Amino acid sequence: MSDILKIGKYEFTSRLIVGSGKYPDFQTTRDATLASGSEMITVAVRRVNITNPDEENLMDYFKGTDVKFLPNSAGCTTAEEAITLFRLTREATGIDLIKLEVIGDTAKTLYPDVIETLKACEVLAEDGFTIMAYTNDDPIVAKRLEEAGAAAVMPLAAPIGSGLGIQNRFNVVFIKEAVNVPVIVDAGIGCASDAAAAMELGADGVLTNTAIAQAENPIEMAEAMKHAVLAGRLSYKAGRIPKRPFATASSPVDGMIF
């Protein structure tokens, strides 16, 4: 309870955020999310229903839980589209905690359009949204997003859904040093060790979807991710030993009996 993740006015005890896409059904989504221990699930509002009460609604499956919904703007390619989407979503659900993503390359890399993301961030911050902004792994852009009003920055580890893990470990550290808001490593996580590595680098949290949803056993992978994030966070806080290019005896050599 003493290690709280604060994002704007919101507080979380879990530093793992999960997604809701690519599951076979809403029940599996619920089961995996609860197994992960996550308190936040992100939802692509254009693809998963949380606004229409007359159709099967994912929010119904999480009634009675402590899991918060984090609407995201997946599918938006301009700032205007994202701004309109979030305004409509807040009107329908009352949710003001959002994951802003504006994709620039929809054909191959799914990399974000950081210019459009910055534009949207400025407007949505003025509108009173608590913004978690998906971005590339660039510390300069991360700082600009913070200045534009983002409550958290979410640099990609690798392309969305690739499972490649962190491709530039140095940039995660540089981003962490550049901003004063939480850094959530997002996209490209493939397995539990990737999540632990992100946390050991100093990330404040990890978001993963495909690695859980498309695992052979999503429930077990969700639980593995929970423990990986906890272990990585504790390892980071404990402080690792320095790396050395030579051996160091693990027991004293002075005072040997023979």
Looking at residue 67, what is its pLDDT?
A: 95
Give residue 166's Cα distance to chain centre.
13
Residue 1, pLDDT above cutoff 60: no
- The DSSP bridge partners found for residue 207 are 17, 186
Rg (CA), the chain: 19
DSSP annotation string for 133-153: EEE-S-HHHHHHHHHHT-SEE
What is the rounded average pLDDT of the residues 202-222? Answer: 96
Residue 256 covered by a domain: no
Residue 256, pLDDT above cutoff 70: no
Q: Which domain holds residue 53?
A: 5-238
Residue 10 covered by a domain: yes
Please report where in the chains the tokens 């850094």 appear, as a residue. 183
Residue 246 covered by a domain: no
Number of structural domains (the chain) is 1
pLDDT (tens digit per residue) in 69-124: 999 999 999 999 999 999 999 998 999 999 999 999 888 888 999 999 999 999 99
Looking at residue 246, what is its pLDDT?
A: 85
Q: What's the token pair of residue 219?
A: 């429930």
Mean pLDDT of the chain: 92
Looking at residue 155, what is its pLDDT?
A: 97
Beta-carbon contacts of residue 16 (< 8 Å; ≥ 6 apart): 36, 37, 38, 195, 205, 206, 207, 208, 225, 226, 229
CA distances from 156 to 5, 42, 87, 203 (A): 19, 15, 25, 12
Residue 147 covered by a domain: yes
Looking at residue 136, what is its pLDDT?
A: 94
Percent over 70 (pLDDT), the chain: 97
What is the rounded average pLDDT of the residues 129-148? Answer: 97
Residue 198 covered by a domain: yes
Is residue 244 very low, low, confident or very high in pLDDT (cuts 50, 70, 90)?
Answer: confident
Tell me if residue 99 is catalytic: yes
Please provide residue 208's backbone torsions phi and psi, each rounded to the nearest 5 degrees: -145, 145
Residue 161, pLDDT above cutoff 70: yes
CATH of the domain at 32: 3.20.20.70
Amino acid present at 81:
E
What is the rounded average pLDDT of the residues 144-149? Answer: 97
Residue 119 covered by a domain: yes
d(CA 239, CA 138): 25
pTM of the predicted structure, to 2 decimals: 0.90
Catalytic residue among 99, 119, 176, 226: 99
Residue 69 covered by a domain: yes
Residue 248 covered by a domain: no
